[in-house]
Amino acid sequence: MSLHHTVIIGAGQAGIQAADSLRAEGYRGRLTMLSDETVLPYQRPQLSKDFLDARAASEMPEALPLRAESFFTDNHIDLRRGTAALSIEPDRRRIHLATGGYLDYTDLIIATGTRARQLPVPGTHLAGVHTLRTIEDSHALREDLMNARTMVVVGAGFIGLEIAAVARGRGIDVTVLAGAAPPMARAVSPVMSDWFAGCHRDNGVDLCDAESAVEFQGSGGRVRRVISDKGRRYDADVVVVGIGAVANVEMLSDTGIDVHNGVIVDEFLRTSCPGVWALGDCATLPTGPGGARTRIESVQNATDQGRLLARNLIASHSGAPLTAYGALPWFWSHQGAFKLQIAGVSGPDSTDNLVLGNPASGKFSVLRFTSDGKLAAVESVNSPGEHMAARKLLTQPVPVTVAEASVPGFCLKQHSRRVLVPA
């Protein structure tokens, strides 16, 4: 395999894991990684949590490395920082670089991730208006929070609410404009959404349901207030827009590689173009409820796909069978004193929600069942043991029935030990 050259576009969690696993699986070809950032690849989840909350402005990006610099030299990985891919010619197996020149490849791995979705309203250019995706974004927001008294968060997803919790911990007056949907509605049950909304309100957040921003106003080039679609005016020294993410797939236009809300891949992580693979936040797979295509944005997904893609890429060279992706998704979010952990993915038909424990205690779980009684996901607050049990249960043919879970005193952890089938 020494004549092969694999190029990975993107150096986030997915790209790094793919490179690591290729070497671990015995890939001996040339391996190049392209990163459009100039710092070492770093962990992103903490950018809206501990890293953002750190009071020492002297912290450097290397405080959150995915791998030490020696990892790349020791594994003969050519990490090209500050080098973005400009375009791709799949028929020639060639990548044109934004810095000039090109790279030829045998296999190409697209791990370009996502960027923050922009809000198309007047005033987004003003200083003090932030999105959060990169470590530079986190540095800039943290600096602004140092002297802020008021903040408006547009969007009530994980990132928006995590940032709101950090700001309240600093004593900042926070308003959250949740938009059309309830908080975290795309990711959690109505029970969990309502509970977290109550927690944030109890913490002093002005959480405004069914309200969005239509304009940011400022003076002296800096944001001062937010105008909502209800005509209300909210003072804002800082604004954070957290309304989701967009897959970075623009470079694939006119390549013939199929894209729709991300790079379309099959269950083996192959794109529609021979020799081109994709994974992580930018890839869409038929793994959703009912086989629907979904983009899963999580560390677990990026890591598991990186490992699988490496094995499949190597297998494709030898003609060995490929392995389909089927890992159980799981997620987490820290919001103030509460850690939310989710195992599985629920869809529109996950209409039956069963609460285990007492939400008033700040420690409970919600079991989400489909209309035909199948357990789709488990949401847990400050209950790591139940979360781990749920991750095991959801890999079983029949994890638990509604009737079983409804029995008084039902324990998720004990049930998981009873039904777990050895691999």
Q: Say if residue 197 is in the same domain as residue 260.
A: no
Q: Are 210 and 184 in contact (CB under 8 A)?
A: no
Is the pLDDT assigned to residue 111 strictly greater than 70?
yes
**Does 327 map to a domain?**
no
3-state secondary structure 32-54: EEECCCCCCCECCHHHHCHHHHC
CATH number reported for the structural domain that contains residue 354 in this entry: 3.30.390.30
Cα 152 to Cα 211, 234, 296, 338, 376: the distances in Å are 12, 7, 27, 21, 34
Mean pLDDT of 23-36: 98
Mean pLDDT of 91-112: 98
Q: Which of 202, 124, 206, 192 is nearest to 158 (CA)?
A: 192
Q: Which of 178, 211, 243 is the last residue of a domain?
A: 243
Cα 308 to Cα 9, 205, 325, 330: the distances in Å are 17, 42, 7, 17
Q: Say if residue 233 is in the same domain as residue 281.
A: no
Is the pLDDT assigned to residue 62 strictly greater than 60?
no
Q: For helices 384-393 and 412-419, what crossing angle results, to 10°?
A: 30
Q: Across the chain, what does the average pLDDT equal?
A: 94
**Does 66 map to a domain?**
yes
Q: Where are the beta strands (DSSP E) in 49-106?
A: 77-80, 85-89, 94-97, 102-104
Alpha helix (H) ranges present in 149-189?
158-169
Is the pLDDT assigned to residue 151 strictly greater than 50?
yes
Q: Say if residue 108 is in the same domain as residue 225.
A: no
Task: Look up the domain containing 203 and give its range.
Answer: 118-243
Measured in whole angstroms, the distance separating CA 273 from the mean position of its chain's CA atoms is 26
Q: Which of 287, 298, 283 is nearest to 376 (CA)?
A: 287
Q: Say if residue 143 is in the same domain as residue 106.
A: no
Q: Say if residue 65 is in the same domain as residue 124.
A: no
- Taking only the tens place, the pLDDT of each residue in 40-53 is 999 999 899 888 88
What pLDDT shows up at residue 90? 97
Both tokens assigned to 158: 């994980």
Number of structural domains (the chain) is: 3
Q: Any idea what the Cα angle at residue 272 is, between residues 271 and 273, rounded to 5°?
A: 90
Among 53-62, 323-332, 344-353, which stretch is predicted with the lowest mean pLDDT? Answer: 53-62
Both tokens assigned to 263: 């790079």
